[in-house]
Chain A
Amino acid sequence: MDLEAFLRDHGIIATRHSHPPVMTVEESERLVPKLPGAKTKNLFLRDKKGARHFLVTVPHDLPVDLNALGSALDADRLGFASLERLAKHLGIMPGSVSLLALVNDAAAAVEFVIDRTLWDAPAVQAHPLVNDATMVIPHADLERFLAATGHAPRVLELVRLVDVHKSFGTVEVLCGISLDVGKGEAICIIGPSGSGKSTLLRCINGLVGIDRGEIHVGPHAVHRLHKDAEMVALRKDVSIVFQQYNLFPHRTALENVMMAPVDVLKQPKVEVEERAYSLLAKVRLTGKEKNYPGELSGGEQQRVAIARALAMRPQVMLFDEVTAALDPETRKEVLVTIRQLIDEGMTSILVTHEMAFAREIAQHVYFTDQGLIVEHGPPARLFGDPQKMRTRAFLEQVL
């Protein structure tokens, strides 16, 4: 389908710029901070016929089925990394000004289409590249344009792994893992012991560096971060809860929750304390704030660990077999807490042996073995009708 025709068919008025402006990285960088509400996300769609590339920039919170959009436009959907590479190649900065931008295949020119609210911004109006002929698609129309693809909306990906490899010495623990997690989604990773599940989570928050492949978490290209200082920004967005809780034994429950926001994020102590109390209340630990970890049961400690992770206000939560060390009674308390978080829309990646729980809460389940994803799919299918022998054998053992 031709984009222009598509726009026309859906009554989206978009006028073409006669001499498409080309904005350099520097220019867009200068312009973007001045734009109110320029919190956007990029997707690059490539026309399969090779006629045209579409650079689509949408607000973070806009629910869009990008796969559906891609197929409606008969285009491949490209991830952030390829988008970034292409944008760099074109000399533009993705995620800058445009709500929708058209890139011609010769990569010679880029036509920006700017949201009307942004259009009105003085900074935009004053920009030398903006003139009468610049094309505008109002935000509302863009939504309509995206909605018109007629598929159920799917959220934008927040975590994206592409062909991740990791070896410890000569042992390859991850042998090419690729997966996507949408914003607000919960996915489960299941698999036998030693299949690299913990390692995978530790790669996502940069505790373990990868040998090959790409890991993207929101705006962070984790595989390119090396120094500890570079990791800090990532770790503000990703929190992990460990099997063994790993609370700081010399600090009370409350202090455990407060430490990172106060010491790392430099948030005001009074405000953090208030938040810590309400987080501990949320994990149903009111009254235990002043207890030391050694004075709490395993389940209570694990809930403190969850509160501590939440105190960073992360975008993504990683759970590594958080109930494995607990007895069935306390296990339930922790699962209830996690379920509540997921219901509230926390993007979560869970490694778990609790198949019933995975089935209930996950949008998508990945079965891993020996460093590979053997099979994945919605829980109903993966548990109900596994395709691979290996998956069936594993499920028979654990169910």
Chain B
Amino acid sequence: MLTSRAGVALLAAFVASIVVAQVQAIPGQPSVVELLVKWTPLLAKGFLFNLLISFFAMLVGTLAGVLLGSARISPRPPVRGMSWIVVQFFRNAPWLVLLFFVMFLLPFEFHVGGTTIPFPDWIKATLGLALPIMANVAEILRGAVQSIPTAQWDAARSLAFSRRQTLWKIILPQCVKRMLPPWMNWYAILTMATTLASIVGVSEVMTLTLRITNAEGRTDLLIPIYSYVLLWFFVYCWPISLMTRRLEARYEVR
């Protein structure tokens, strides 16, 4: 959970690291602050890339998760059983393992007819990250559907709604409110997890940070630049976390 106290601590660490770096600065070299300012545009680009990956992974994961979640509550036992296995697998596998799994499983390009469609690493990483989201969204959906009183199903069935209609028109709309907080929570987790993509070679913000520190060759830059990036993630994810808790609180009151 991201709290404002964590944010304050992070900010303090960042400022402290800069102060320490400034104090230890070797005269004649550009200061740490100057370097941070210089590299900010590139870091921002990398960060936006992380956000892009997070959007797509969330979109794909949510859509697939809704389908998988519907399978989890299917009246047919085989469908329920299969989807249970899928959910358990993707929920409990380490994200990084899933990421490598997808990276090596999928080709880097597709051949459709005569043309070659490239399949870049970042899309593969997005799909890899979407898998655990899918499994967790499925679980959220199942929990939410089961929290709706069976009387709602009875009422809908009595009005001649089919099972599918009942699910889509009556049950799921009531679930959205309950699903929103945990869903947003997973989005925040996902956003932070996008940095895993650097390990599989996607040029997102962590990869860029590493390259910058290598290029500058300055050890005193390491702590400030990493806490700088950390701060960005915090600034982005903290409001989401805050909103999640607000929604949760409001839901509890109701």
Give me the interface of A with B, judged by CB distance under 8 Å.
202, 205, 207, 228-229, 231-232, 235-236, 238-240, 242, 244, 246-250, 259-260, 263-265, 308-309, 312
Distance (whole angstroms) from the CB of B88 to the closest CB of chain A:
29
Say yes or no for B151: interface residue by CB 8 A criterion: yes
Say yes or no for B42: interface residue by CB 8 A criterion: no
Q: How many A-B contacts at CB < 8 Å in the complex?
A: 57
Say yes or no for B158: interface residue by CB 8 A criterion: yes
Q: Are B163 and A259 in contact (CB under 8 A)?
A: no
A228 and B153 alpha carbons, distance in the complex (Å): 13
Q: Are A235 and B155 in contact (CB under 8 A)?
A: no
A312 and B155 alpha carbons, distance in the complex (Å): 13
Please tell me the number of chain B residues within 8 Å of chain A, measured between CB atoms. Answer: 17
| Residues of A contacting B: mostly | mixed
CB closest chain-B residue, reference A312: B159
Q: Are A246 and B165 in contact (CB under 8 A)?
A: no
CB closest chain-B residue, reference A233: B160
Q: Are B165 and A205 in contact (CB under 8 A)?
A: no
| Residues of B contacting A: mostly | helix
Say yes or no for B169: interface residue by CB 8 A criterion: yes
Chain B 236-252 per-residue mask, 1 if CB under 8 angstroms from chain A, else 0: 00000000000000000
> Given known contacts A249-B174, A312-B160, is B155 in contact with A263 (CB within 8 Å)?
no
Q: Are B174 and A250 in contact (CB under 8 A)?
A: yes
Chain B 3-41 per-residue mask, 1 if CB under 8 angstroms from chain A, else 0: 000000000000000000000000000000000000000
CB closest chain-A residue, reference B176: A250
Contacts of B226 in A (CB 8 A): none
Say yes or no for B116: interface residue by CB 8 A criterion: no
Q: Are A235 and B169 in contact (CB under 8 A)?
A: no
Contacts of B152 in A (CB 8 A): 246, 248
Contacts of B169 in A (CB 8 A): 259, 263
Say yes or no for B157: interface residue by CB 8 A criterion: yes
Q: Are B155 and A248 in contact (CB under 8 A)?
A: yes
A207 and B161 alpha carbons, distance in the complex (Å): 12
> Given known contacts A242-B154, A263-B165, is B173 in contact with A236 (CB within 8 Å)?
no
Q: Are A232 and B160 in contact (CB under 8 A)?
A: yes
A212 and B234 alpha carbons, distance in the complex (Å): 64
